[in-house]
Amino acid sequence: MPKFTLNGQELEAKPGQTIIQAAEDRGIEIPHYCYHPDLPIDGNCRMCLVDVEKMPKLTPACTTIVNEGMVVRSDNERVKEAVRGVLEFLLINHPVDCPVCDQAGECRLQDYYMVYGLHTSEIPLGMKVRKRKVIDLGPMVVLDQERCVLCSRCIRFFENVTETGEMQFFGRGDHVAIGTFEDRPLDNPYSGNVVDICPVGALTSRDFRFKCRVWFLHATDSVCGGCSTGCAVRIDHRDGAIFRLLPRRNVEVNRSWLCDEGRLSFHELHNGERVQRPLMKGRDEVQAPVTWEDAVRAVDSRLREIREVNGADSILGFASPSATNEALFLFKKYVGDQLGASRFDFRLDSEDKKLAEEEDQILRHFDKHPNSMGAIKLGLISPELGGIDGAIDAARVGRIKAGVVMYIEPLVRRPGDEEAEGRLLELIDELEYSVVLATHRAEWQASASVVLPVAAWSEEDGTYTNFEGRVQLAGKAIEPGGDALPVWEVFAMLLHAGGAQSLWMSVGDVFATMTENAQAYRGIGLDQTRLPGVVVG
Amino acid sequence: MVRRFLAGEKGRPRRDALQVQDVQTEVCATFMKKSAKVINISERAERESSFARDMLGPLVGMGLTINRMMDNLTGKVNATIRYPEERRAYSDRFRGAHILTAREDGSPRCVACYMCATACPADCIYIEPAEHPDPLIEKYPARFDIDMLRCVFCGFCVDACPEEAIIMSRESELCAYTREETMWDIKRLMSRPELPEFGLGYRPNETLVDSTIKFVPKEKEKKELAGRITLKEDVEMIPHVTFDPTKD
């Protein structure tokens, strides 16, 4: 472990670490454009120049490996003068169109100018080298060559992460610009990442373009609900609407990346009509809105009635692999422990169909539900039932009379989803009494006895278990519409109606009960589920 | 010299100018008037008290009052004006209703950068940007609404604007019959039929730099109003507030 001194402060670096990495670990920021922790080191921007004792010239911190006893200064006049000079060079041909630039507010040029620059530009606007603006680069990216500082992060991303190599430098001298060959669109499934890694406004998001200035947005740390990988994301939202998803760095799962599918998955949430109020079928067999109290009391007493007449095995619990661990745990507790049912499942489409979906070695997973592993770990699968087909058959012959069906719409829609919803319709038609917990209004819910509105992804706190068993915390960003409640709250109410003594006031309470009672989650704490998450056995 | 200074502008004697008697107290009073920080009232009253002053002072003061009264009665000075037939001339920096300026071709100068909306303490500006066909302009406001009921007329939006796209007029009469009318959209903010009556108000440059005001003259509409309310048409405005948008 080499020790070195940075700005008079004794620090310890890991072997092989560069100065910028060692400083970053201690929360000391050395200004940089081209350095990125998940990309190979390039050392072309010269912003990270530091003064190392006994070295004749200033040296870039991103390429210099820490040696024992090194004395480094990043705050003396010599360094500041050099950084100011570099910044002045970078800004020579910059168009300074911050008012129309989407990067404004999170732009490194703006940030460093306020710290190191504050110089007046020697080049009048008319003498600057003009390059091309507003170049359409496929469905995710818009390119503005003038704003580029030529840090080559995007080029290295496509060369090393996706290994497709679409982008390159073109031209010479001060006419160098980034671009794709003949402006071909970036059609690879990770192209949105170059927008995040671009430190300036050269590459901006097509989806987020002009939607909102970034300083109006509020950020909530969450986990992507698009597939079973469970990438750590940041939800940027304002006034109850989500504007964009950005990856958070989780070295164990997604590093700094996020796939385009997941990046755009939040649009599905605002798509279509939501269930607003609890609906219950009256004597006239028409669903009418009722209060939550009435709905919970009616559901609980009717399910108990069916249990008394037909036995506990006549009740089916059909969970959703998109619900949180806490929701699934209380669901199991209510339907399994309190009502005594033993038939559970959560799979709507058969496994071999899933395997045919697109998958790659970077992030994307074939299972488009964020919490299938959680449902498996909580034992929401009964092999003897035989999936949804088995449930439909059992209901047809009368072995299953009632069902509690949870359906949280997947954020990444697939062609097979309508078919899967058709199977739910089949199941509900066969059942004598059916309780549906749904986020979005759909035709198949029309024949259900009770429809309860529940919160979708990003509308409730909770943890998700990804495909490798990593439990991660996802925060609540926006309020669910109408009277919708989080799923765990619905089952907590049902458990209370059925006489449960425990009091669950928050997701933390449910999580605590879950870590006491559920075998797979035993002994983990809520704090452990923050970055990078905890893997359960 | 000192006496003239103390005598006021129009030769009308001031009260405290009459009360000083010798040069020493004159100088003293001048000093007090100039610094005017701490005045020891009791000391001053003792020094200045005398029978003549106590009797004459109120009479002189009354003389001033009577003078003013005569001025008012003869119409030499008028404290009131006949609003709304007459209006006072407001300062060039008056912060009235906003104006969105235009480019040469009449399209909005605004690039929808949200600086005004960010600076706005009343949160009364709503902007919806759209893609401009010219890549050098890139962004323009498809919607630009100002809620005139929420606006506090602080002028921060004018200060924040990097493009001289939003400036203020001297217009202060913003009553409306419905709440909807107080929501000014981009069309209303850009074409200001009321402008000639009021003129430009708070703005970064006295004469606009490479932006113009799209001026649409007011259509003469005669409103039929119920009851005794009548609209006075063709009222002559006092000349110094009339404004020509091409010259100002």
More reliable by pLDDT, A489 or B52: A489
The whole-angstrom separation of Cα B194 and Cα B213 is 13
Residue A470 has pLDDT above 90, yes or no: yes
Q: Which residue type sits at A160?
A: N
pLDDT tens profile A10-41: 999 999 999 999 999 999 999 999 999 999 99
State in words which class domain A93-216 has: alpha beta
Indicate where chain A has its CATH 3.10.20.740 domain(s). 3-89
Question: Which residue on chain A is closest to B162 by alpha carbon?
Answer: A99
A149-163, A246-260, B24-38: which range is least confident on average?
A: B24-38
Residue A416 has pLDDT above 80, yes or no: no
- The secondary structure element, H or E, covering residue B93 is none
The whole-angstrom separation of Cα B245 and Cα B196 is 7
Indicate where chain A has its CATH 3.30.70.20 domain(s). 93-216
- Residues of B contacting chain A (CB within 8 angstroms): 111-115, 118, 129-131, 135-139, 162-163
Residues of A in Cβ contact (< 8 Å) with B135: 132-134
Residue B118, min C-alpha distance to chain A (Å): 8
pLDDT tens profile B97-123: 999 999 888 889 999 999 999 999 999
CATH number of A279-535: 3.40.50.740
CATH topology for A3-89 is: Ubiquitin-like (UB roll) (3.10.20)
Residue A222 has pLDDT above 90, yes or no: yes
Q: Which residue type sits at A167?
A: M
Domain B94-248 indexed as CATH 3.40.1280.10:
no
Whether A100 sits inside 8 A of B137 (CB atoms) is: yes
Share of chain A above pLDDT 90, in %: 71
Mean pLDDT, to the nearest integer, of B80-91?
79
B173 pLDDT tier (thresholds 50, 70, 90): confident
The whole-angstrom separation of Cα A34 and Cα A47 is 8
Q: What's chain B's average pLDDT?
A: 76
Q: What is the pTM of this model?
A: 0.82
Closest Cβ–Cβ partner in A99, A132, A216 for B113: A99
Distances (CA, A) of B107 to A134, A525, B100, B195, B210: 20, 59, 10, 19, 13
List the domain boundaries for chain B.
Answer: 2-74, 94-248
Closest to A327 (Cα-Cα) out of A498, A489, A452, A493: A489
Residue A244 has pLDDT above 80, yes or no: yes
Closest Cβ–Cβ partner in A98, A210, A215 for B118: A215
Residue A154, min C-alpha distance to chain B (Å): 23
The whole-angstrom separation of Cα A402 and Cα A450 is 11
CB pairs under 8 A between A and B: 33
The whole-angstrom separation of Cα A333 and Cα A67 is 57
